[in-house]
Amino acid sequence: KMILGPHMRSPACSHLLVFLLAQFITAFCLFAYVRLTRDPGPDLWPGLPSTLTTQPGNKMATPQIGSELTILLWTWPFGQRTDLRKCTEFFDIQDCHITANRSWYHKADAVIVHHRDVCYNRKALPQGPRTPSQRWIWFNLESPSHSPNLGFMDHLFNLTMSYRRDSDIFTPYGWLEVLSQPQNFSIPAKSKLVAWAVSNWSPASHRVKYYGELKKYIQVDIYGSHHMPLPRDKQLSILSQYKFYLAFENSLHEDYITEKLWKNALGSGAVPVVLGPPRENYERFLPSDAFIHIDDFPTAQGLAQYLQELDKDQVRYQRYFQWRTWLKPSEPPFWALHFCKACQALQVTERYQSIPALAKWFQ
Ligand SMILES: *[C@@H]1O[C@H](CO)[C@@H](O)[C@H](O)[C@H]1NC(C)=O
Ligand SMILES: *[C@@H]1O[C@H](CO)[C@@H](O)[C@H](O)[C@H]1NC(C)=O
Ligand SMILES: *[C@@H]1O[C@H](CO)[C@@H](O)[C@H](O)[C@H]1NC(C)=O
């Protein structure tokens, strides 16, 4: 109902329309499915783990009505205590008791184990016996290339929680929300061309090599350690001055699309130039005219030329913002929403996958 406005006529709009329709159909299928079980919570976009609807799996023990589930955070992610929020703020569900106090281990209905904090030593994993109904949730937002010792995790976990769409608990770095009213998005004032913020500079990496080619043909301003400083509180205002932002992922894996796209580029109103999984994968999360993919061009020189053309052609540049009439990028409040998604899944999801060979699955 919200997408068939009379003003949707230009080619870019019809792309958006196709995207919205495709997403709508998928969303509808999931919605219909979730409605059969329980309230799905707020309308997140797109966030649709297809396995929810198709794969048989283990049946969840139905939680007793009235009893609040306890979720133990085996560690704080990366050892850093973070704010917790009431899950009723995010979802129409019963709240969970979320704690990092290990005295609760024997009583916990679920234990969230954050990969990076336990992967260097098997003994860092929970050792005590678990009750028959206790579920262990493997939690990881890093890519397989940066997730050591995945083999340690085999035959331990009941649910997966990651950026992969086929996780039991899908926790992406960002998503689009559909606006209830169309908006006139105003593009931030632009005075510069291409920015890239990079903290992990490895000369042998695909992205640094690609940059090495690109910079021969176009000026790229680099921020991050060993480069221009980008203080957290100024990040948005600095990056928003750029027409383009290089959202180059550190490794290429399906669905591995991070805050480089959601926060640095889309969050600051710069057009993302992405290096990551193939274009089709991005299009599961974004309209096709919301970003530029390096694979759209045979060479870095071709990309540079295209960016320079757009720089001189305001009308074509503006087309990269048309999707914002109906859609708004959004990011999770780290890490509170992630934990609450687990709380929701434990109550709502009827079946989960149980992947014994985790290392084989997470590639
Ligand atoms: C952990 O929980 C136990 C049992 O509820 C309590 O006695 C203890 O004080 C808690 N520890 C901390 C550090 O909060
Ligand atoms: C969770 O997985 C472990 C390891 O595969 C298994 O022994 C246990 O029965 C499972 N628990 C539940 C509640 O599914
Ligand atoms: C958007 O801009 C158009 C044309 O400038 C105007 O007619 C319309 O009222 C604006 N819509 C909103 C929501 O501001």
Nearest to 179 by CA among 2, 303, 357: 2
CATH number (domain holding residue 243): 3.40.50.11660
Ligand 2 proximal residues by C-beta, below 6 Å? 58, 133, 135, 155-156, 158, 356
Phi, psi of 293 (to 5 degrees): -105, 140
CA torsion, points 45, 51, 53, 58, in degrees to nearest 10?
A: -130
Look at ligand 2, atom 2, and give the residue with the nearest C-alpha.
Answer: 158
**Residue 188 and residue 250 in one domain:** yes
**Residue 198 and residue 218 in one domain:** yes
Residue 342 in domain: yes
Please tell me the pTM assigned to this model: 0.84
Residue 201 in domain: yes
Residue 326 in domain: yes
Amino acid sitting at position 269: G
Q: Residue 203 gets which letter from DSSP?
A: T
Nearest to 73 by CA among 116, 102, 53, 115: 102
Place of tokens 């085996």: 74
**Residue 48 and residue 139 in one domain:** yes
**Residue 212 and residue 298 in one domain:** yes
8 Å CB contact between 249 and 258: yes
Mutational pocket test of ligand 2: of 113, 134, 346, 354, the residue with most ligand atoms within 8 Å of the beta carbon: 354
Residue 25 in domain: no
Instruction: For residue 126, give every residue at least 6 positions away whose Cβ sits within 8 Å of its Cβ, in sequence order, or none.
Output: 74, 105, 111, 113, 136
**Residue 46 and residue 159 in one domain:** yes
Q: Which helix (H) or strand (E) holds 351?
A: strand 351-352
Annotated active-site residue 142? The verdict is yes
Residue 67 in domain: yes
Instruction: For residue 207, give every residue at least 6 positions away whose Cβ sits within 8 Å of its Cβ, in sequence order, or none.
Output: 198, 248, 249, 250, 275
**Residue 242 and residue 108 in one domain:** no
Structural domain including 339 reads 38-172+332-362
Beta bridge pairs of residue 178: 327
Q: Would you state the pLDDT for residue 32?
A: 44
Residue 12 in domain: yes
Q: Would you state the pLDDT for residue 354?
A: 78
CA torsion, points 130, 135, 140, 141, in degrees to nearest 10?
A: -150
Look at ligand 3, atom 7, and give the residue with the nearest C-alpha.
Answer: 184
Residue 32 in domain: no
**Residue 350 and residue 275 in one domain:** no
User: Pick the catalytic residue: 68, 89, 142, 350?
Assistant: 142
**Residue 47 and residue 153 in one domain:** yes
8 Å CB contact between 329 and 285: no
Q: Would you state the pLDDT for residue 20?
A: 66
Place of tokens 């309308």: 43
**Residue 155 and residue 194 in one domain:** no
**Residue 128 and residue 161 in one domain:** yes
Query: What total number of domains does the chain contain?
Result: 2
| CA separation, residue 64 to residues 60, 73, 74, 181 (Å) | 12, 22, 24, 40
Interval between CA 185 and ligand 3 midpoint (Å): 10
Look at ligand 1, atom 3, and give the residue with the nearest C-alpha.
Answer: 103
**Residue 157 and residue 191 in one domain:** no
Q: Residue 331 gets which letter from DSSP?
A: -
Place of tokens 């079946």: 351
Interval between CA 158 and ligand 2 midpoint (Å): 6
Q: Where are the alpha helices (DSSP H) in the chain?
A: 11-37, 51-54, 115-118, 206-214, 235-239, 259, 279-282, 300-312, 314-318, 336-348, 358-361
Instruction: For residue 11, give every residue at least 6 positions away whose Cβ sits within 8 Å of its Cβ, in sequence order, or none.
Output: none
Q: Would you state the pLDDT for residue 353?
A: 78
Residue 287 in domain: yes
**Residue 138 and residue 106 in one domain:** yes
**Tens digit of pLDDT at every position of the chain (363 positions):** 233 333 444 555 566 666 666 666 555 544 444 443 333 333 444 433 333 333 334 555 555 556 899 999 999 999 999 999 999 999 999 999 999 999 999 999 999 999 999 999 999 999 989 999 999 999 999 999 999 999 999 999 999 999 999 999 999 999 999 999 999 999 999 999 999 999 889 999 999 999 999 999 999 999 998 899 999 999 999 999 999 999 999 999 999 999 999 999 999 999 999 999 999 999 999 999 999 999 999 999 999 999 999 999 999 999 999 999 999 999 999 999 999 999 999 998 877 877 889 999 998
Q: Would you state the pLDDT for residue 200?
A: 87
Interval between CA 109 and ligand 2 midpoint (Å): 12
